[in-house]
Every structure is written in C-alpha cells, then in structure tokens.
Amino acid sequence: MRPSQGVLLVVCLSAVVAMFLMAHSVMAHAILLESSPSINSTVAGPDILIKLRFNVRIDATRSRLTLLKPDASTQSLTIAKEGPADALASQAQGLPRGEYRIRWQVLASDGHITRGEIPFQVTQP
C-alpha cells in the first residue's frame, strides 16, 4: 500500500466511524400537534370521537391507536380510512367513567415511527 493510500484509508475509516457513531438519531419524526381529547382533558362519555393531528403526513394504514382502560386492559381502535393526510381519526364507544390513555404509534410518510400517549378522563354526560 502506498503512503497516500494509507492516508486515504485513515480519512475514509475516520469518516465512516464518524458516520456510524453520529447516526445516533438520523430520523425524521412526526410529532403530535393537537388532539381530541386533548392531553389531561376531561370528556363526557360514554362515546367519544378521537382525532390526532401531526406536523407531517401520516401513513394511516400502518399507524396504530390503542385505548388503555382504567382496569389496565387494552383495546385496539379502528382508524378511519378517510381523512386529512396529517391526521388519524377513530371513535371509542361505551366508556364508563374513569382515567384512560390513548397510546398512538404513527408511521410518517418519510418512513419513520413515533409513538406517544394522551391521558384523559371520561365523566358521565
């Protein structure tokens, strides 16, 4: 190996090491801009409409909404097929009063996954 090739190798290796180590967080992610019910809000039950709006386009068919009930059981929520590109909509029916959480996971159009939670309270109408 000629000296110049050796130096080139050091440059390339350093660069590749840097790339691999630096790529600690190379992904773009969707963040929740607003939701209904909103975080820590109280809504009247037993049927509620759910809507989440994000900062980017969402792949709704590959996103998930789960309801965590007061007894710690979970229920998958069906996401509405029609709707704006940046939003997920669903509904939950027959909810008794108590503390709930909506756990969401979305796949953004740019291919990256984000999740989060929305705690809220249901009261009787």
Spatial CB neighbours of 90, under 8 Å, sequence gap ≥ 6: 50, 65, 77, 78, 79, 80
41 lines the binding site for another protein (CB under 8 A)? no
Contacting residue, 77, 88, 89, 108, with another protein by CB under 8 A = 108
Q: Which stretch binds another protein (CB under 8 A): 19-27, 41-49, 90-98?
A: 19-27
Binding residues (CB under 8 A) for another protein: these are 2-4, 6-8, 10-12, 14-33, 39, 55-57, 59, 61-64, 68, 85-86, 101, 105, 107-119
